[in-house]
Amino acid sequence: MMEEIPEREARAFDTDDGRTIFITQRDGAFFAYNNVCPHLQTELEFLENQFLDRDGEYIECSTHGALFNVESGECISGPCLGESLEKVEITVHSDGGIYLT
């Protein structure tokens, strides 16, 4: 699954419990979050797998343009400033799989 998530891109996945999460890669590390903006509880992307801003630098909410730090999920700009995305704990295995923990 690691190969499905290129550097500075993100991919959405549905979990067994009905949530949608997304995973993004930055400098070889993977970060996962629930696909919910803390501002209005809306999904973040406006097009499938479009979670990052144009430069691939920040996670961006398509509803009001809030920007989030990839590594921490903290909102650094927009209406939910100071709030954070809900992090999802994952484990990257040597077989290339990424698993929820």
pLDDT tens, position by position, 47-100: 999 999 999 999 999 999 999 999 999 999 999 999 999 999 999 998 989 999
Q: Span 13-25, mean pLDDT? A: 95
Structure token digits, residue 75: 């909102």
How many domains is the chain partitioned into structurally?
1
3-state class of 4 per DSSP? helix
pLDDT at 96: 87
Residues of the domain holding 64: 1-101
Q: What is the CATH number of the domain that holds 55?
A: 2.102.10.10
> pTM of the prediction?
0.94
CA-to-CA distance for 48 and 51, rounded, in angstroms?
8
CA-to-CA distance for 71 and 28, rounded, in angstroms?
12
pLDDT at 55: 94
pLDDT at 3: 86
Percent of the chain with pLDDT over 70: 99
If we measure between CA atoms, which residue out of 55, 82, 47 comes closest to residue 66? 82
Contact yes or no for 5/56 (Cβ under 8 A): no
